[in-house]
Each structure stands twice: as C-alpha cells, then as structure tokens.
Chains A and B, each alone.
Chain A
C-alpha cells in the first residue's frame, strides 16, 4: 500500500509532468502533519527572523551556503540533496520542499505558500493545547522586513506578536528603529502584555550597565526555566551605529557564562539561550560556555531539522536554527528529572498555510493593519517572467533586479546591494507589487548613493564584506551574505585571507584598474547624514518602466578553492 509520503511524491511527479492537481484536495490527507506526540514536562516553541511577514509567502532556501574552516561541509552548510541525505528526508516530499531549494517553483505550486501569522497562530495554539504552559520564544528580526512594519514604526508587528502569544524576545533589526523606540515598546507595550525582552550582551557604552534584562526565569509544570537573551553582537557595525549611539553590543562570552551561572544559582533547572548570533557563532559559543541546555538560534536563516550537539567542558549544549520568514516553528520538549534535563525531542515544523486554518482573530488584526495601506501595497509595478529570490552566498535574481535598477536609474558603471538574507520569493508569472518590492527593501536607512570610487576602493570594500562572511573564525563573521555586485565580474576564493579572496575583476570585458575612478551606485549607507532617493523609489521607477521582467542575467562570481564537491554549493 502506498503511504502518505509516497502519495505526495507521486503528486509532485504528476505536477512536474504537467498534470493538473488541486493542491488543497491533494493535501487533504495531511491532517496529522502537525500531530506531535507529547514528550517530557517542559516545552519551548521557537520562531525567529520572520522579518515582519504577516501573510503567507514563498521563501526559497539557498543553493550556495559555503562553510569555512571547521564549518566546512557541516550543518548548517549543507544545501539541497546534501541536506536531505544528512537528515534522511525523501526528495520530492513536502519536507524536502520546506528545507531546500530543489525544484522550487514546481514544489511551491504543489504545496503552496508558507508562514503567515494567522496560520502560525493556529499552530502555536495547537502546540499549546497539547503542552499547556509551554513558552513561545521569538529570536528577533521580527519588526523589520515589510512595508507595514516600516510605515507603522513596527507597531503592526508588536501588536501581532502580543496577539500571537510571544513570551520572550531578543533583538537585532529591531534596533534600526532607534534606541528610543525600542525602549518605548519594551517599557510600554511589552511590559503591559508580559513579554520579556532579554539581551545579556547589550550594555551602556560608558559604564557597561545592562540595558535590558539579561535573562528571565519562567515556570512550566513547576519547573524553573531560564531564558538568556543574546542580541545580534554586531548590530552597531552591520547596521547604523548612530541609531543606538549609547549602547555597546559584542559577543561577551564572559557575560553569558556569568548570567547562566546566576540563573542556575537562582534555581533554574533548564537554562536556554535565545540567540541572534548566527549558527556558526552559536556553535562556537556552545563549546566555550557551560551550563546551557540549548541555544535557540537565528540570524543566519538556517532551517535546520535537528539540533547539533556541541560538547563543552561540563556537558553538551544543543544548538538549533529555525529558518526565517515565518516558515518554521521549532518545538523543543525537555524531560526534566531530578533537577536537570534527562531527555529531549525536537521538531522544526514547516508552517504550510494550506494545512493550517487561519485564526480568525489574527486574520482580522492583519486586515486592520493593512487596510489603510491597501492602495499603496497593491500597486502593480511589473510582472516577472523569471523566478525571483534573494537568498544565497553571492547573488539572487531579485538582487540582480535591484542592481540593474540602480545602474540604469543612477547611470552607474557598477552597483553594490547588501547581502541581506531576508526578502520573499516570487514565482514566474507573479505580479511585482509595491508590497513585494518592500519585502526586499523596507529599512529605516534606505538612501541610494552614487559615488566615485577607484578600482582599489571597490576591491577593498568587496574584500572587507567577503571577510565578514568567510573569516575562518565565526566570532569575526557577521552573518549576512556577500555584497551583491552589479556590472563587475570577479573570481572569489572563500578559503583565502582578507585581501586575497577577490581577483580577476572585470568591467565590460576590461580589467578593473585600481587607479581608475568608476561610478558606483549603492544603498543602505550605515553612516549618518547620507541622503538620496529611497531604494524602493528607484526600483519602482525601473519596474514601472520595464513592465515585464524577462529572465534575469545573474551576475555570479567564479568560485574557486573550495573543492569540486563542496556540499555547501550546487
């Protein structure tokens, strides 16, 4: 007899061969997809990096995510079939679609959109139903990434998270609304709703005082559970420092150890870290700090099906990463006996919108949030013939559209676009609305620039960003992807050192001259006082002019020095 998985696989094949399938009907057999057998006595749900996506979307996982140094060929640096093989996931299945880029367009049509807060709310309530008192942790990058988040000054996400039932949160992009706004939300909306905002590694720049609670202790089934917060350590470097001028961040292992010990001394039987370090940094931290049962990680947007077990001087710490864009909900069950964790089970549940009914109250809240902006959000800018996505170490098709727009509108020889890992995916034939464009560009420092740069400066910038991605020591990495480069072809060797990774830079068939000056367009300047048209205006102008986005010519570097069969690149 055919089991459910094989049936779905057959459907995927059928769809691929052109047979029409009604995905809702085809998936009707999936009602038990979210039935998690109960285990243990302490349960924690974890969402992270939803990037303000209130409605269901598509999100393609990367086909290039290269690991360097000790991370070479290891989780989370496995893509496509390498990831499926590692976790025993059958190709062509619903899970395979959730965790990889494989056959993305066809699979997306078959399985439908992912995420959406109304669907997520239904899932959270379902998990809470079987695990009363379980906690919902939000790893941050929640208030940024959509038009409505930007236009409401993050209020839409604050209200949605309170309605969702978030218990504890730690930040990154939240800080780009400015220190004052963050404090206002933490001290008012969150305080009233009982949401704890924790970050042990944010201190005042002058005397090193804690700015937020370093950790909080909550109880479940009479067991004390400590949640220590770890904000993105490089916020004032990767994002504008002038937005948080009086606060200092950093990794601060010593502070982490101090607060973990403090939590244990205060009776915590379970200690977890809610982290925005990025997975490679979390893995290193887990090897150095003792007494942590699990690190629930985000930032690097890695959808990792099962935790990594990291050994340290006093035991083992589990390290997870829960993807992005509302696509996943992690559920960790701990069995706590005699004052400590005796066993655990973890599942990273993909949030398939077709399998989860909308929560009506949340759906109504989202409608209320969006209604005043509907005309702007729904403006049709162009239709795409290509499949548009962002994620990947070097470039994505939507990034290429942004680069093309910058070069054309600004009259530049070359362009830079930040290697952000957020931004939703569009299928061929989709309309690019202002809503979808804002998914790629909605930040509080959106100015575009046109700068005269020497070839040498261009190379220095590329080397600098490349080192933030490929430094062999994770503590020197910042977690974004490589800056997207328009106009200039190049070769990259991730395993070299800073200054030696980039070579063969070519512009219009000619070598880039270190002494010659080029016009370079860019956006998202981190320095204060930079002015220029916002990026969404520049790209919208281009899209309205183009009307149809033909298949995009992706400017990808030639990657060398990583071996012929690196599992982080297909």
Chain B
C-alpha cells in the first residue's frame, strides 16, 4: 500500500512533487520546458510541431498511449506514453483540441527508458498525440479521449 507516500504528499500541502521542487527553487520553470516557449504557446498542432523544430512524424506501433477512453475529470486526465523505439530521446504529448495543444515535452537522456506518465488538462473530446524523437527521426501515435458532460447513466 501507498498509505505512507499518500500522507507524505498530503503533508506537502497537496501539491504535486514537481510543484514542490519548483517552489523550493530546485528547478526553475523555464528549465522544466524541454521545448521552446513558442511551441507551448502555439495555438494549433502544426505550429506546435514547428515550434519544437520537428518534421512531420510517421505513425508507429511501438508507441503505446495509455489513457482513459472517457475522462473521469477533464482537468486531470492521466496519460502514460511508452516508446519501445530504440534511442528514444524525447516524448511530447499534445491534446489536439486544447487552446494550446502542446501539454508536455520530456527530454530523456543517459539511456533512460522511453516511458513518461503525467496528468493533462483537456477541454474537449480530442485525440491525445504522442510525438517520439529517436535517432533523429520523429514518430507518433494517437488515442482518442472523450470528455463528456456526464450523468444519465444506467
């Protein structure tokens, strides 16, 4: 059980570990961003890709996105991306219908596993897209996550 971990986190005023690190001055917000600010400010998918300096990606079955089919809470949608492509050096996550689609861009180095797990905010039903950089090439996979009004079930 994770009861201890849970209590420790609750003790940290409920903030996530990364937020705590930022607050403690361990990392500055700009250093958290792997991609340039412009990519995160981009209003559509194409501009976000351009902002990250990435070419059009090819579809890959070696990328697995784990996310709910229907979000329980659009404000915190858990998303996991696993890339088994050799030499994976970056994983970006985009929610296509968000005002600014680029949600996260993780740089992986030193032979880190191609795996990231985070929670993203989604305003509407959309494709969640994972962009993987490996060996200088760009790959992608998508998964639809539905955001619904709720109620009326069963």
Chain A interface residues toward B at CB < 8 A: 141, 172-173, 204, 206-207, 209, 232, 234, 236-239, 241, 248-251, 254, 278, 299, 418-422, 460-461, 464-465, 467-468, 473, 475-476, 478-480, 483, 498, 524-526
Contact = CB atoms under 8 A, between A and B. Distances in A.
B30 interface: no
B69 A475 contact: yes
B72 A250 contact: yes
A483 B150 CA distance: 11
Nearest to B66: A254
B1 A209 contact: yes
Contact of B153 (A204, A239, A251, A473): A239
B112 interface: no
Nearest to B144: A476
B154 interface: yes
B119 to A, nearest CB: 10
B17 to A, nearest CB: 11
B153 A237 contact: yes
B5 interface: yes
Given A421-B154, A475-B69, A207 B149 contact: no
B152 A483 contact: yes
A234 B153 contact: yes
Contacts of B29: none
Contacts of B1: 209
Contacts of A526: 150-151
Contacts of B151: 238-239, 418, 465, 524-526
Contacts of B73: 236, 241
29 contacts: A204-B6, A206-B9, A207-B5, A207-B6, A237-B70, A237-B71, A238-B150, A238-B151, A238-B152, A238-B154, A241-B150, A248-B78, A250-B72, A254-B66, A418-B152, A420-B152, A464-B148, A465-B152, A467-B148, A468-B152, A468-B153, A473-B69, A475-B69, A476-B69, A478-B152, A480-B152, A483-B152, A524-B151, A526-B151
A381 B144 CA distance: 48
A236 B69 contact: no
Interface string B18-50: 000000000000000000000000000000000
Which of A237, A241, A525 gathers the greatest number of chain B CB atoms within 10 Å? Answer: A237
A498 B152 contact: no
Contacts of A419: 152
Given A237-B71, A238-B150, A464-B149, 19 more contacts: A173-B154, A207-B6, A236-B73, A238-B151, A239-B151, A241-B72, A249-B72, A250-B72, A278-B154, A418-B152, A420-B152, A421-B154, A465-B152, A467-B146, A467-B148, A473-B69, A476-B70, A524-B152, A525-B151
Interface in B88-138: 125
Contact of A250 (B6, B68, B148): B68
Q: How large is the interface on B (under 10, 10 to 19, 20 to 34, 35 or more residues)?
A: 20 to 34
Nearest to B3: A209
B72 A236 contact: yes
A460 B146 CA distance: 14
B2 interface: yes
Contacts of B70: 234, 237, 476, 478
Nearest to B73: A241
B2 A237 contact: no
Interface of B: 1-2, 5-6, 9, 66, 68-73, 78, 125, 144, 146, 148-154
A420 B154 contact: yes
Contacts of A232: 153-154
Which of A141, A278, A476, A498 gathers the greatest number of chain B CB atoms within 10 Å? Answer: A476
A238 B153 contact: yes
B37 to A, nearest CB: 30
B126 to A, nearest CB: 12
B152 A251 contact: no
A498 B144 CA distance: 14
A171 B152 CA distance: 17
Contacts of A249: 72
A172 to B, nearest CB: 6
Q: Give 5 nearest A-B pairs by CB, closest first.
A: A238-B153, A207-B2, A418-B152, A480-B153, A526-B151
Contacts of A475: 69
Contacts of B66: 254
A566 B74 CA distance: 36
Contact of B69 (A209, A250, A524): A250
Contacts of B149: 460-461, 464-465
Nearest to A478: B153
A526 B146 CA distance: 17
Contacts of B78: 248
Which of B71, B125, B148, B152 gathers the greatest number of chain A CB atoms within 10 Å? Answer: B152
A557 to B, nearest CB: 16
A265 to B, nearest CB: 22
A232 B1 CA distance: 24
A563 to B, nearest CB: 26
A324 B50 CA distance: 55
Contacts of A465: 149, 151-152
Given A206-B2, A206-B6, A476-B70, A237 B148 contact: yes
A561 to B, nearest CB: 22
Contacts of B152: 238, 418-420, 465, 468, 478, 480, 483, 524
Contacts of A468: 148, 152-153
A422 B154 CA distance: 8
Contacts of A238: 150-154
Contacts of A234: 70, 153
